[in-house]
C-alpha cells in the first residue's frame, strides 16, 4: 500500500519536471527576446543580393535561356526612382517560374518545394482596371536543420520580385530556432486548388469589387499566405483591401471564404 502511494505521489512530480521546462520554453519564445528575427525580414539574412531585370522583356529572355536575364546589382538599386514600369501585372505561376530559375542561377539548385517548404508568401495587386495579376511578390521557404540544444533549427531563403521597380532581391543563410513544441509548419503549394489569382477573384466577386469602387479604386490589395505565427492555425489566403479596410479569408483547398472585417 505504501509503495502504491509513493508511486502515485511521484506522478505530479514527474509532470511538473516535464511541463515546467516545456511551458517556460513556450513563454520565452512568445514573449522573450531569445527568438528575435523573422525569415520574412530581408535585413535578417546574412547573405543577400540584388538583380536588375527588364520586366518588359523578361519572359522572352527566359524562353531563350539568355544569361543576362538577371543582372547583378548593388543595394543602391533599391532606392532608385527610374525606370518605373507601371503596367506590369503577373500571375502567381509567373512569379514562381521566375523564382525557380532565379534559385538555379543564384544557388545552383531549382526552387525545390519538396525538400523546402513555403512558410510565407505575399503578393500585391492594384485596385484599378479590374485587378488581374500582381505587381509585387515575396516568398520565404525553409528547410529543417534538426534539433540543437532542445530547439528546432531551420534555414530559410527569401525572394522579393518587384517588377514595377525592375529589380529582385534575395536573402540566404539565415538560421532560426523555435522550441521543440512549436516547430514551423509550412504549406505545400502543389496541393492548393486555389492560387492567389483565384483567391483575388473570389474576393472581388464577394464584396471586394464594390468596396474598391466605393473609394474610387484608390487602394491596393494584398494577398498573403503566412504560417509564421508559432501557434497552429489553418492554411488560408488573407485578402486585404488596404484603405477600404475590407478583409477576407479564402480556403486554398475548396474556395470557401469568410469576411473578417469591413469599414464600408
Chunked into runs of 10 residues, the chain (264 residues) has average pLDDT values of 53 42 41 62 96 95 87 94 85 96 91 86 90 94 91 95 96 93 86 95 95 92 88 84 89 94 66
Return the ∠ at Cα 91 (arms to 255 and 184), rounded to 5°. Answer: 65
Question: Which pLDDT belongs to residue 42?
Answer: 96
Please provide the distance, in angstroms rounded to a whole number, between the alpha carbons at the two ends of the chain. Answer: 70
Residue 26: predicted pLDDT: 43
Strands 167-179 and 220-226 come out as unpaired
> What is the Cβ-side half-sphere exposure of residue 63, based on CA atoms within 13 angstroms?
5
Residue 124 has what pLDDT? 96
Q: Please give the pLDDT value at position 34.
A: 44
**Tens-digit pLDDT profile for residues 119-145:** 999 999 999 878 889 999 999 999 999
Q: What is the pLDDT of residue 159?
A: 98
pTM of the model: 0.84
Predicted local confidence at residue 1, as pLDDT: 57
Amino acid at each position: 500500500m505504501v509503495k502504491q502511494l509513493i508511486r502515485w505521489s511521484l506522478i505530479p512530480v514527474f509532470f511538473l519536471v516535464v511541463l515546467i521546462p516545456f511551458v517556460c520554453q513556450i513563454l520565452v519564445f512568445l514573449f522573450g527576446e531569445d527568438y528575435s528575427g523573422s525569415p520574412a525580414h530581408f535585413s535578417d539574412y546574412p547573405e543577400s543580393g540584388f538583380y536588375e531585370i527588364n520586366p518588359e522583356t523578361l519572359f522572352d529572355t527566359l524562353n531563350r535561356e539568355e544569361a543576362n536575364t538577371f543582372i547583378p546589382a548593388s543595394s543602391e538599386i533599391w532606392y532608385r526612382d527610374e525606370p518605373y514600369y507601371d503596367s506590369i501585372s503577373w500571375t502567381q505561376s509567373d512569379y514562381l517560374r521566375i523564382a525557380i530559375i532565379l534559385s538555379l542561377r543564384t544557388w545552383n539548385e531549382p526552387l525545390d518545394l519538396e525538400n523546402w517548404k513555403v512558410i510565407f508568401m505575399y503578393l500585391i495587386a492594384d485596385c484599378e482596371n479590374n485587378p488581374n495579376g500582381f505587381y509585387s511578390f515575396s516568398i520565404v521557404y525553409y528547410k529543417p536543420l534538426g534539433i540543437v540544444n532542445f530547439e528546432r533549427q531551420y534555414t530559410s531563403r527569401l525572394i522579393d520580385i518587384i517588377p514595377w521597380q525592375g529589380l529582385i532581391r534575395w536573402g540566404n543563410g539565415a538560421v532560426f530556432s523555435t522550441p521543440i513544441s512549436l516547430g514551423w509548419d509550412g504549406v505545400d503549394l502543389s496541393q492548393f486548388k486555389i492560387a492567389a489569382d483565384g483567391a483575388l477573384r473570389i474576393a472581388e466577386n464577394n464584396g471586394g469589387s464594390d468596396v474598391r469602387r466605393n473609394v474610387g479604386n484608390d487602394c491596393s490589395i494584398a494577398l498573403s499566405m503566412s504560417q509564421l505565427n508559432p501557434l497552429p492555425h489553418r492554411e488560408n489566403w488573407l485578402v486585404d483591401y488596404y484603405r477600404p479596410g475590407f478583409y477576407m479569408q479564402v480556403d486554398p483547398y475548396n474556395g470557401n471564404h469568410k469576411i473578417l472585417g469591413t469599414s464600408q
